[in-house]
Structure 1
Amino acid sequence: MEKEKLIKSKGVISRGKRGVSNKARKGGARAIKPIPNLNFVKIQRQVIQATEEVKKLRNFSFMMRMRKTILAADSTDKGTHIDASIIGIQIKSKAVSSLVSKISSDLTSSAARVKLVRTVMQDKRDFPLSLYRNLMIQAALTIYLGDITPATLQIAGQTYRLYLEKIISTHKKGLLVVQSKQLKNVNLDVISVKDLIKMEEDEERGVDENEALVIQEIKITLKLLEYTDSLDEDTRDSITMTMHLDELHDLSSKHRVKSLFAGSGSTESTKNKHMLIVRKTLAALEVIKRIPVLQPIGLKIIAKLQEIDSKLPLPYLIEARFHMQALRILTLRIVMKEFSARPSLRPTFNKAIVAYHKALKRALLSNPKRTDIIVLSEFAQVSYYAYEQRKILNLANHGVLKILEMGKKAVDVLAPSNRVYIKQQKDILSALKKMKNLD
């Protein structure tokens, strides 16, 4: 019975394949569209839209909120992310219905959303991939709404990883249907995804476009899963305190001046509070950076840190790391021949190098402190990276030359006091000479 279901679903997929192929022939759609299930930009937009709607509805009366969310749900007949009814429609259970009702009555309640996500995650039934995507959006919403806690960050990471695992298991089922005829007497469940991919690629029969897309998506997803291996453990270890985005607002210059004039607390206690909030924020950002769905809110938090401490290099260094993390995933997609990522490579790297340059300008070059050394070291690394990857990043020679010159400036500060940087210094100097000859 299960096999028949899989065969039927494969038939649907096959028809879809022909559609994709036709589109590709007509307009080259395949070349510019990202892999659907890994289109995190689209998912980010959904989270941002839901966040904005929740914020709008927050000040409405209960009846008005109910009216608007019900109308939104009725318009699509699929529920909404705003009140989590989209989950309630996909999973029929008393526990889920009760939690969806709680969220409907208090849209900003992170506790209810966290409980909803955990309740669904404990349900071991086989649900469609869309549910896990919706679950990831619900988890992300708690953070976009400002609650950055051990619980919200943990479920954000867990749902992201679960979504990736579900992508692989869904595709594995489809590929197993293809192989089932050739492997009649083999227990298909024991075949690993990697072995299955190898079998598909080694076969003499031609792999059609959609099947190639599936294999490509599995490969990328497997790599993304590797990146998250320690995410849950790291989150538990590093995120021990709760914070809210409003705390960062309280640290903004304008608000801080008002507080000081109002005589609220001593300067020392204000400084300690400031440092604690910044420490909590930095710890949270290290986790947020690793979850693509949270990239926009992470950059928003960083912008607030830059506003608070505009003279310090650290907020700009963190921004650069965020962009480099995004670049890492883009590069992975290119390596896996997912060329729709190519147009984003150079703009993403440019954002990273601009942020690194801002950090470098704020770092102490004479008698550098620990943070300054980190900035100098990372800038030196990224300058040589720009040289090595200039072709794939489509960088102009004069641009690479400028980056290398700044990289040399950074490594020249580090090398005299630490021999570790001598090789890097030589590499950058050699790269500079080659680029000058080209220019």
Structure 2
Amino acid sequence: MANKIVENKNTPNINFMTFQKQLLGITDEIKEHNKKSPLKKMLGRNKESNHVDGSVIGSAAEGNSEVKKLVSKLNKEPTDSTSRVQLVNAVINHSKDHHLDTHRDLMLQAAVPIYLGDITPVFVQVSIVTYKTYLEKLQNVHKQNMMAIKSSVLKNVNMSGINVNDEADDENLKNSDGMLTEINVGESLVGQVDDLLKAMQNRPMATTLSREELEEVTADGKAAASFFGGGEDENSQQKENVVIGKTVQVIEAIKQVPLLQGAGLELAQAMGRIDSKLTFPLVMEGRLYMQGLKYHLLRIESGDKSARENMAPTFNQAVVAYRRAIKLVSKTNPKKGDLPVLTEFANLTQYGFVHRDLMRFTKDGVKHLMKLGKDTIDAAVTVDQSFMPLQKRVESAINQLERAEEEEAYDDD
């Protein structure tokens, strides 16, 4: 998700693509640690990030014996996701007044299990709640700093809920425009996460998924099983279907959280290694990039003009994912199971048309894209006519482009 994306240097506290990269780096370190011999683990300890063993947040609860014990456990086994989540909770419970940087590190630590592929309803909830708490702390700190600025920038800022005793401890608070953008984006994201948590409360997530499950059914895992006498049978196919279903459910649960979208992409790519002919992994990639587009658009609407530069590359990544999926289905004889690929790509092209000024399309480029969208929605309608309204919107967009082209040609004459 973070590839080719350049984020605003004036909004470091909400640059979630950067946080994604950081989390991928932490999990890579943890995986490398696991491959080392006991001696190399001991010798290489000082070179590892303090995120690997969780000591980065342990230092915020000095003297707490439970925290010390959990850091020690992670020092020996950093893949122990249960201990990591217990550590996050122990540090949170140690004090009600952590600094912003501690909240940031708590958020990152809580996301590590998800990036490792260790997913339970509790792990996901802890990750989402620490993400929300970080955003709320950020707003509180920013609003305190901005109260001291005699400027009209405060005009439309909701100043309720500020703890005046809260310590303004963020070193990045130098730019009032950046602070205002972070407040606006943060408030929107908190609203989104509140809706997500309510949805999860009404329909609790019941899926658990482990990295071992995923590894077992991927191409590498199956090759190892075959080497030791295992092979493809009905049971292994059933196991694959179960893992695919669980992975899709997990991605659906986390895709709206910018912090966790990088983990979603990792899961989608792992799912693709189960069977290269599956469309589900590519559809999930496309959905994650669509969520990325919504996030960049939110930033633009919140005053971050630089986020405009990220719309086109993110849109292109979504197009690539869906077009790869389209190659795996039949447009001449589509089946019901092909509808997500066909209809979601058509929706994507319509989104591109609506926001064409942000996508840097050439005139021929947007027209070609809409015709590709029409091909897929035409195929989908032969299976399910409930998609006819989308078909009409795509046709209307093409007609609008053609009329504009004719008017331009007439003006030139």
TM range (shorter): 0.7 to 0.9
Of residues 54, 57, 65 in structure 2, which corresponds to 1:84? Answer: 54
1:34 and 1:268 map into 2 onto residues whose CA distance is: 55
Contact kept in structure 1, 2:336 and 2:383, CA below 8 Å: no
Tell me whether 1:297 sits opposite 2:263 in the alignment. yes
Tell me whether 1:214 sits opposite 2:195 in the alignment. no
Answer with 257-266 or 108-117: which moved more.
257-266
1:214 and 1:45 map into 2 onto residues whose CA distance is: 23
Which residue type is aligned with residue 278 of structure 1?
A: I
1:300 and 1:367 map into 2 onto residues whose CA distance is: 32
Contact kept in structure 2, 1:62 and 1:105, CA below 8 Å: no
**2:190 match:** 225
1:86 and 1:127 map into 2 onto residues whose CA distance is: 13
Secondary structure of the corresponding residue to residue 45 of structure 1: helix
**2:211 match:** 245
Tell me whether 1:359 sits opposite 2:325 in the alignment. yes
Q: Which residues of 2 match residues 21-32 of structure 1 at below 5 A?
A: none
Change in CA separation of 1:364 and 1:115 when aligned onto 2, cut-off 3 Å: same
1:43 and 1:233 map into 2 onto residues whose CA distance is: 25
Answer with 246-255 or 38-47: which moved more.
246-255
2:243 and 2:26 map into 1 onto residues whose CA distance is: 27
Tell me whether 1:339 sits opposite 2:305 in the alignment. yes
Q: Which residues of 2 match residues 115-130 of structure 1 at below 5 A?
A: 115-130=86-101
Which residue type is aligned with residue 105 of structure 1?
A: K
Contact kept in structure 2, 1:238 and 1:283, CA below 8 Å: no
**2:357 match:** 391
Tell me whether 1:35 sits opposite 2:35 in the alignment. no
Higher helix share: 1
CA shift at 1:278, angstroms? Answer: 1.0
Which residue type is aligned with residue 128 of structure 1?
A: H
**1:279 match:** 245
Contact kept in structure 2, 1:34 and 1:338, CA below 8 Å: no
Contact kept in structure 2, 1:153 and 1:235, CA below 8 Å: no
**1:186 match:** none
**2:115 match:** 144
Answer with 319-328 or 419-428: which moved more.
419-428
Tell me whether 1:48 sits opposite 2:24 in the alignment. yes
1:351 and 1:369 map into 2 onto residues whose CA distance is: 25
TM-score (norm 1): 0.78
**1:429 match:** 395
Identity %: 33
CA shift at 1:211, angstroms? Answer: 2.6
Unaligned runs of 5+ residues in structure 1 are 1-30, 74-79, 180-190, 198-207
Secondary structure of the corresponding residue to residue 96 of structure 2: coil
Tell me whether 1:155 sits opposite 2:126 in the alignment. yes
Can you list the C-alpha shifts for 1:322-359, whole angstroms capped at 9, x where unaligned? 11111110011111220221221101000101112222
Of residues 398, 401, 414 in structure 1, which corresponds to 2:367? Answer: 401
Which residue type is aligned with residue 41 of structure 1?
A: M
Secondary structure of the corresponding residue to residue 359 of structure 2: coil
2:148 and 2:161 map into 1 onto residues whose CA distance is: 11
RMSD between aligned alpha carbons? 3.1
Secondary structure of the corresponding residue to residue 127 of structure 1: coil
Which residue type is aligned with residue 27 of structure 2?
A: T
Answer with 330-339 or 303-312: which moved more.
303-312
2:32 and 2:387 map into 1 onto residues whose CA distance is: 52
Which residue type is aligned with residue 177 of structure 2?
A: A
1:37 and 1:86 map into 2 onto residues whose CA distance is: 18
CA shift at 1:291, angstroms? Answer: 2.5
**1:28 match:** none
| Aligned length in residues | 383
Q: Which residues of 2 match residues 5-24 of structure 1 at below 5 A?
A: none
Change in CA separation of 1:233 and 1:363 when aligned onto 2, cut-off 3 Å: farther
Change in CA separation of 1:416 and 1:274 when aligned onto 2, cut-off 3 Å: closer
Secondary structure of the corresponding residue to residue 276 of structure 2: coil
**1:165 match:** 136
Can you list the C-alpha shifts for 1:299-325, whole angstroms capped at 9, x where unaligned? 122122223232232221111011111
Secondary structure of the corresponding residue to residue 229 of structure 1: helix
Could you say which structure has the larger radius of gyration? 1
CA shift at 1:97, angstroms? Answer: 1.9
CA shift at 1:281, angstroms? Answer: 1.0
Tell me whether 1:106 sits opposite 2:77 in the alignment. yes
Contact kept in structure 1, 2:258 and 2:295, CA below 8 Å: no
1:306 and 1:54 map into 2 onto residues whose CA distance is: 23
Unaligned runs of 5+ residues in structure 2 are 1-6, 151-155, 163-172, 406-413
1:228 and 1:99 map into 2 onto residues whose CA distance is: 29
Can you list the C-alpha shifts for 1:255-305, whole angstroms capped at 9, x where unaligned? 435535755488221122111111111111112322222323321221222
Answer with 166-175 or 387-396: which moved more.
166-175
Can you list the C-alpha shifts for 1:15-49, whole angstroms capped at 9, x where unaligned? xxxxxxxxxxxxxxxx9525110012222232222
CA shift at 1:130, angstroms? Answer: 0.5
Can you list the C-alpha shifts for 1:55-92, whole angstroms capped at 9, x where unaligned? 2322446575455434667xxxxxx1111111122222
Secondary structure of the corresponding residue to residue 316 of structure 1: helix
1:51 and 1:32 map into 2 onto residues whose CA distance is: 25
Of residues 96, 107, 111 in structure 1, which corresponds to 2:67? Answer: 96
